[in-house]
A and B are shown apart, each in its own frame.
Chain A
């Protein structure tokens, strides 16, 4: 028999489905929610429901959006000659925070992982290829610098280069503000490989 009243046990069970939330955190969150005013709880529940119902994928770049096409794809001021390819919707926001990129995006929704059985057909690659019209001059591959991200970038480069489109990759290097002696040899090796003239 559960130690909690039925509705609370259910709330804890639902909260443990969230990433990074274990039974203890779920229990703490449940107590907090029960202590909230009815209006606050209503607002939270409505916000979750509204986000779920109104957020969809942009039909062009597959970023999460309320309107289709998304604000990036429908913004005429953005550079339409360059497409930045990322793995996940949150990567778009990370790049936007730099304020250095003004082109369009394409979200693959994953990366190639042979050991997990995720192949090119499981990603939004066909949709990317169909976007590569004559106006696109460069594709910037900004997948993660891990083995899956590198494999995805290499696979895409193989497909896109024969079309005569410039294919670029995000640089590898040392984290800003780090100490050289603590940087691992793989990163340091990549940083040396990609050194540039001052």
Chain B
């Protein structure tokens, strides 16, 4: 039985001469992989709606391994993300992060709203903040949220001289030797992390953190995410090559 979904295309691979395998991240059905027959032909109606980063409505016919995507209409093309090299690199990174962390057919509606929000924020030229917000909130939504109030070793409240470990979040001075990847965490970056997790996702845009806090958060989250992945993300090298922040 076919069903309609609204989603964002997070991965596209060519199949055969004219087809595509499209990974769509949907609010209601989670991550779906579907074949779009003829989607690379110039006059095919699936050509444009199956481009990466496109937010669209899709008609899915369930299949055994891969579903079939038969009709599509664009809700938001997100063309600006494809028209700028840096935005494209950032958006690719977010899509890869999502693809690697989210299981197929597992609905996580909060993450769908997060993705649309950070794409909108990124389109306004605020990708460094949007990317950091996505990393922190994605970890939170999927149950990997860093501990930000108590030491992950002894459970004591930690409020100053902060240390952060990629193994789980804050760690006190006395427990720090039991953990790897321990880094100092400034109070400004600590506050930023808390706000990124606790604030309503639509309010993130009003934050204007310092470049220093963003750079520190980036370094912390890179190690935090790497610790939870089996192999490195492919899109990071390109992002590092081209970005100017």
Contacts and interface: CB of A to CB of B under 8 A. Distances in A.
Interface of A: 19-20, 112, 114-117, 119-120, 146-147, 150-151, 154-155, 158, 175, 178, 182, 184-187, 189
A117 B77 CA distance: 24
A58 to B, nearest CB: 26
B82 interface: yes
A186 B79 contact: yes
3 closest cross-chain pairs (CB), A and B: A117-B234, A114-B235, A184-B48
B48 A114 contact: no
A184 B42 CA distance: 11
A147 B239 CA distance: 15
Nearest to B48: A184
A147 B77 contact: no
Contacts of B16: 19-20
Given A175-B42, A184-B48, A115 B88 contact: no
Contacts of B48: 184-187
Most buried by B among A19, A20, A114: A114
B200 interface: no
Contact of B234 (A19, A116, A120, A185): A116
A178 B41 CA distance: 13
A117 B43 CA distance: 29
A185 B76 CA distance: 10
Nearest to A146: B51
Given A112-B238, A119-B238, A151-B89, 15 more contacts: A114-B88, A114-B237, A119-B241, A120-B241, A146-B51, A150-B88, A158-B242, A175-B42, A184-B47, A184-B48, A184-B74, A186-B48, A186-B51, A187-B48, A189-B77
A175 B47 CA distance: 13
B216 interface: no
B84 interface: yes
Nearest to B92: A114
A146 B77 CA distance: 13
A185 B79 CA distance: 11
A75 B34 CA distance: 47
B84 A115 contact: no
Contact of A184 (B12, B17, B45, B96): B45
27 contacts: A20-B16, A112-B238, A114-B92, A114-B96, A114-B234, A114-B237, A115-B11, A115-B52, A115-B96, A115-B235, A117-B234, A117-B235, A117-B237, A120-B238, A147-B52, A147-B82, A147-B88, A150-B83, A151-B85, A151-B89, A158-B85, A158-B242, A175-B43, A178-B43, A184-B47, A186-B51, A187-B48
B95 interface: yes
B49 interface: yes
Contacts of B235: 114-115, 117
Contacts of B83: 150
Interface in B70-84: 74, 77, 79, 82-84
Contacts of A158: 85, 242
B17 A20 contact: yes
Contact of B85 (A19, A154, A185): A154
B131 to A, nearest CB: 13
A192 to B, nearest CB: 12
B240 to A, nearest CB: 10
Interface string B16-41: 11000000000000000000000000
B49 A114 contact: no
A186 B9 CA distance: 15
B91 to A, nearest CB: 9
A147 B11 contact: no
